[in-house]
């Protein structure tokens, strides 16, 4: 999808501060950080929302979660704690329609989040 900013980051057409990457996903620093450590983990393949995911995406979704844990370890916030969040659609806070997992850490996170 050529007009999707995350697809363009995944292909390297738009630069990003890459943290980790694999064949099926890429993790990078969020430009609008909401915590001292705030990364996004995206699949390289375009899936607009979590609701658009299918049974065929089950393994990929699991990879994203494991990638989130690897990113937290890499950023040094796994031991003290971190949060993973995947927003879905406008009322859920999704602003870029390419699924992405937020990994937030580096400070105590409040609950409820918003």
Cα(102)–Cα(61) distance, rounded to whole angstroms?
13
Say what the pLDDT of residue 113 is. 78
Q: Is residue 112 part of a domain?
A: no
pLDDT at position 9 over 90? yes
pLDDT at position 114 over 70? no
pTM of the model: 0.95
Say what the pLDDT of residue 32 is. 94
The SS3 assignment for 92 reads: helix
Side by side, which strands form the sheet with 18-21? 18-21, 25-29, 37-43, 101-105, 82-85
Q: Is residue 54 part of a domain?
A: yes
- Quick check: 86 and 100 in contact, CB under 8 A? yes
pLDDT at position 1 over 80? no
Say what the pLDDT of residue 58 is. 97
Owning domain of residue 13: 5-105
Say what the pLDDT of residue 112 is. 86
Average pLDDT, the chain: 96
* CATH label of the domain that carries residue 80: 3.30.428.10
Active site residues: 100
Domain count, the chain: 1
Say what the pLDDT of residue 43 is. 98
Q: Is residue 93 part of a domain?
A: yes
């Amino acid at each position: 999808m050529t007009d999707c900013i995350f697809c363009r980051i995944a292909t390297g057409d738009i630069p990003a501060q890459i943290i980790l990457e694999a064949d099926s996903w890429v993790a990078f620093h969020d430009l609008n950080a909401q915590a001292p450590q705030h990364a996004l983990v995206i699949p390289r393949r375009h899936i607009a929302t979590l609701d658009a995911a299918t049974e065929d995406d089950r393994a990929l979704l699991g990879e994203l979660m494991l990638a989130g844990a690897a990113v937290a370890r890499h950023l040094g916030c796994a031991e003290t704690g971190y949060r993973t969040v995947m927003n879905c659609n406008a009322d859920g806070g999704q602003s870029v329609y390419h699924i992405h997992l937020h990994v937030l850490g580096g400070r105590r996170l409040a609950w409820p989040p918003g």
